[in-house]
A and B are shown apart, each in its own frame.
Chain A
Amino acid sequence: MKDYAKHKRPEMLEPFFPNEIFRHIIVSCFFIVIELIAIIVFPLHTNLVIKKPDHIPWFLLPVYKLNKLIHHETLFISLLIFFALLFISWPFLVSRKRHTALPINKEQDTRIHHVRYTKRHGNLWQSPIPFTIVIVVIISVVMLCFINL
């Protein structure tokens, strides 16, 4: 387990117990209340016959629309697998190790270089190309939901 107390002043730390434990309990209770409210509020048609596309849930809507758009089972499934693989390997695709200048002393400098680089370019909006890709993907997924077929 990582020791968070290393390299830190005492005022930057707080005890795990009871502060964090209580926070966990509060958030969990909040979650359970939300779930119970959702059960009361949302009507259930699950006991009925599942009729597509009326009962496609919001998060599968883009996939369903893509299927309608493509009309080709094999191509559709290959596309899904392709997207899934891209999604899983995302950190390696946007890895910035390539961009760092070659250090003179290879053994040690790479790490320092890398750490500095990570700190400057942590957020997504600080690296333009991945940011653009993410925004374009989000917009096209949302648009896909609203296509009328």
Chain B
Amino acid sequence: MLQKDVIHNKDHTETVHETENENFLKEFIERSITRRLIPKGLSWFGCMGGLSLLAFIIQLGTGIFLMFYFVPSTREALASIQYVSHRVSYGWLIQRIHAIGPHIMIGMVLSHMIRILFKGIYHHPRELHWVSGACLLILTLLMYYTGSLLPAHNDKYSTVHLTFLYAIHIAGIPLAMVLCMGMHFFMIRKTGIYEPL
């Protein structure tokens, strides 16, 4: 009897919790997706920020794959990249995406910035959007620089040097970028996007 009661009680609270959760989820989805309204007539140039994000995510995905094979030592770096692009199935595709992607990503980030610059969207209250974005651009360029030195078969760089570059390429700078992006997106959500008058 007691046992049953307890079970009954537990069930009851659980269902209450579930319906509450469902309601919360439903309301959240309705508020932020299905019933959300946005201003009409946004420019196609406004996509550039989103495309920079997409390009970054592609770099992240392909970069993690490359990490499985890359050996950060002066002797083996080049060989390991060649191994990925010739022996691993579809490795060439991933490697080429990771090597060509930065050019496209930087093009996207620059056109994003130029739109913001010429439209004057950095004015109050959006100064901090610019600050976090500018840090993102600098970090992206640093990412390119550190990345392009990784396959370099160069006597100028020692293995210690290469390991350092590798560490900041796969962990240090991406972490900083993710932090800056969090700041960027948080503030965009706060102020909303810039709307045409």
Contact = CB atoms under 8 A, between A and B. Distances in A.
Interface of A: 1-2, 4-5, 8, 11-17, 20-21, 23-24, 27-28, 31, 34-35, 38-39, 42, 44, 46-47, 49-50, 55, 57-60, 84, 87-92, 95-97, 114, 118-119, 121-127, 134
Contacts of B50: 24, 27-28
B124 A17 contact: no
B100 A38 contact: yes
A18 to B, nearest CB: 9
B138 A118 contact: no
A16 B120 contact: no
Contact of B123 (A15, A31, A42, A118): A118
Nearest to B128: A91
Contact of B134 (A39, A87, A96): A87
Interface of B: 32-40, 44, 47, 50-51, 54-55, 58, 78, 81-82, 85, 93, 96-97, 99-104, 106, 110, 117-120, 122-124, 126-127, 130-131, 134-135, 138, 141, 144-145, 148-149, 151-154, 189-192, 195, 197
A96 B118 CA distance: 16
B104 A59 contact: no
Contact of B151 (A1, A46, A124, A127): A46
A50 B141 contact: no
Main SS of the interface on chain A?
helix
A122 to B, nearest CB: 5
A124 B118 contact: yes
A44 B134 contact: no
Given A27-B51, A35-B58, A90-B134, A17 B33 contact: yes
Given A91-B127, A122-B123, A134 B117 contact: yes
Given A12-B40, A119-B197, A35 B154 contact: no
Contacts of B192: 1-2, 4
A57 B149 CA distance: 13
B135 A47 contact: no
A95 B99 contact: no
Contact of B99 (A12, A13, A44, A97): A44
Given A1-B189, A114-B124, A27 B47 contact: yes
Given A2-B191, A50-B151, A38 B39 contact: no
